[in-house]
Structures are given as structure tokens and as C-alpha cells.
Amino acid sequence: MMNGFATMGLSLMTGVSEDMEDIGESTRTVHAAADPEEKTGSVQTPIFQTSTYVQRDFAEHTGYEYSRTQNPTRDALEEAVAILESPTVSAYGSAFASGMAAITTVTQLLESGSHIIAASDLYGGTGRYFDEVLSKFGVETTYSDLGPGDLEACAQENTRMLWLETPTNPLLNIHDIATLSAQAHERGWIVVVDNTFASPVLQRPLELGADISCSSSTKYVSGHSDVISGYVVTRNEELNEKIRFLQNTMGAVPSPLDCFLILRGIRTLAIRMERHCDNAEYLVERLATHPKVTRLLYPGLKDHAGHDVAASQMRRFGGMISLEIEGGEAGARRFAKASRLFAIAESLGSVESLVNHPWSMTHAATPEERRLEVGVTPGLIRLSVGIEDAEDLWNDISEALASSS
């Protein structure tokens, strides 16, 4: 669905000013997700739990004919994510049944024989799809640190897409979206940014020059570990038409209930992100001087290689922390099992804190040589910092670190 927020002049509920730049993040997230139902005035978008719709005559419908193609609850979600990713310029949102469904759909924009340049330490599931599935359809991927001169070195005659994550999963590397987008566009490539780790509250890739921003809305956007979904947003009408065709044709769409749950999550997204960031910064400040921490990765650290770029393209530095502690993998395992508040689990970005072991969990499918080359070691652990009380989280981490040796 197209973002009408920037063109209608009013929010869906309260007559917010036409100048979207004057609206705060919390106001935007609350009202972007609010689409009162016309008949009853329900404040919450209803769950239209239906597969099909009565038509007036043969092929004469009200705009809805089959829920794979379109559903009112999904429409509200698609408009909301378009508003969040592009609040001041009209954009188009498409919702999917998972983040990987969104990624798969975007890559279907390419013809067989195409070539992708991708960040070297991207999410393991994306790399697995690129290497083990997409490659079977004649699309090759080159992985790169994307440093100075790397695009030119990796470019091929058949390169058609640049795939970025920033911050990356799990090493929290930062890529300069504006610079890389400009360089890619000089060559006619499509630029895609996986915005999952930042969320549109902290970073808006489309404003920095990317063509497509995609996300696993399972994570921060919904924020409660109770839904699987993803989305794609673009300002480009031609790309949107192709994405919508693929969405309908391949059918990997979220259920109306999933859409409702994500809309509910969006309403608190801004305030949750502030707490995630507050807590992460509180923990990083203490982890940075802890004697058992041997490696600490967080873009908010002044000595982080991407700190300055992150500061220029992100509102804050996020709620994800990666680190290594004394004892390698064994120490990491003891730490995770000793924690009472950080549950060992896949996923991230929810209200509760989680600890993940990328080597054996999210990035287990990545070839071992590549994992080691980019810095995903057996001793690395990734913390998704929740919205609990910061002091409680630190006390828990301190006790777990004491138990790690």
C-alpha cells in the first residue's frame, strides 16, 4: 500500500500537521498504526479474518476479492511501515509472511545470470539463501567488507544489486548507506538495505539513497516475540509494481492476525527503541571496563570503526551488543547458562532480553572459513538488550560473568 501520510495532510486520527518533519517519533508510530474502521469508528484496525469477499457481479468487487491479493488489515500495516520508513515522501509498503519471504521476493526482481554484491557478515539465513538457493537459479553473490574501492573490485558486467545490512548481524559493522548508494547508482544497480537491527525509528535507508528498505518485522517492529513477518518499502513506483506482482503471485503474505499484532507493536515502537538504546548504552559503559570482556562490539563506542558513520545516519546506536569473554566458547556457554534474565534463544528485538551464540545458532549455516574470516568466532555471543530495568540487567550480567570461568 502507498503511504498517503505525506500527501493527505492529516494523520489517520488526530489532524497532525502536514509537515511530517515536525512530528516526533512516538507521535508518528502511534498514529501511523492507527486506522479507524469507517463503519464503527473502532480505534484499532479490526482483524479482517476472511479469505474472500462477496462481489456485486462477475469480476465486480469493492477493491477486495481474495486475501492473498489484498486484505484491509494488511493494507493498514503496509501503509504504516511505508510511513515509518519514509514519513516525508510517498512510499509503498508490502508485507510478507517472514523477513526471509521479504528478502526472497526482492531478489526475484533479478534475472537469471545476475550478480549481487553483499556485505560479508550479513545474517546467516540471508547468506544461506544466497548461497544454497538463489545460486541454483543463476544468481551469484560476492561478499565484501565494502570498504574503499571494494565495489569497484567486486563489480562485474552482470552486477545488478548491492545488498547491505547496517548494523550487520552479528558484528554490528556499519556501512555508509549514502556513499555506497551513490556509487551503486552510478553503475545502475538496485540498492537494498536490511534495516532489521536499526528499525525505521533509528535509521531510514530510503532517505539516505537506498532503493529498497526491508526488515524482519518479527524483531523490533512488532517487538513481543509473538509473530513472524517481514516487509519491503520503496519509493520507486516501478519497483513497487514488480514487488506487488511477486507478492501476489508467490503468496508469502502474513495473516490478518499477524498484521494486527504488528500494528499493535508499532504503536509502542519509538518508546521501546528509546529504552532498548538506553539499556544497551548503560551495559556497554560497564562492559567496556570489565576484565573478563576481551572483545566488545557496539557502534556507540567511540573506538568502533563505524562510529562516525553510525552517528551520521542513525538517531541512536541500537539495542544490540556483541562480545567475547575469557574462556572462548566454553566461557560463552557458561555465561549464557548462568544468566537469569537473558534467555538463550534465536531472534532479537523483543521486550525481553535474549542471548544468542551465532557460531552454533544464527550463523551455523555460514561456511566455517567465512565465519572465521569475518570475525564470527566460537566465543562470540550476541545480546539483544530488552526493556527491563537496566540495573537488573547489569546485575545479572555481572553474576553471569563471574560464573563464566
How crowded is residue 155: how many other Cβ atoms within 10 Å of its Cβ? 17
Q: Is 176 among the catalytic positions?
A: no
193, 224 in Cβ contact below 8 A? no
d(CA 22, CA 20): 5
68 classed as catalytic: yes
304 vs 298: CA distance, rounded Å = 7
* List 53, 68, 242, 370, catalytic entry: 68
Report helix angle 99-107 to 124-132, nearest 10: 40
Rounded distance between C-alpha atoms, residue 401 and residue 405, angstroms: 8
Rounded CA separation 96/94 (Å): 7
Torsions phi, psi of 301, nearest 5?
A: -70, 135
- Point out the catalytic residue in the list 74, 75, 121, 123: 123
Q: Fill in the amino acid letter for 128.
A: R
Cα 282 from Cα 196, distance rounded (Å): 22
- The Cα 288–Cα 304 span in angstroms is 12
CA–CA dist 341, 322 (Å, integer): 17
Are 89 and 237 within 8 A, CB to CB? no
**Would you mind telling me the total number of residues written for the chain in this entry?**
405
**Of 28, 74, 219, 371, which residue is the catalytic one?**
219
Helix (H) or strand (E) holding 95: strand 92-96
- Compute the distance between CA of residue 343 and CA of residue 133 in angstroms, rounded to an integer: 31
d(CA 156, CA 168): 24
CB neighbour class for 152 (10 Å; exposed up to 12, middle 13-18, buried from 19): exposed
Q: Name residue 23's amino acid.
A: I
Round to whole Å and give the CA distance between 151 and 327. 37
What angle (nearest 5°) sits at the alpha carbon of residue 109, between those of residues 108 and 110?
85
**Please, are residues 101 and 20 in contact by the beta-carbon 8 Å criterion?**
no
Active site residues: 68, 123, 194, 219
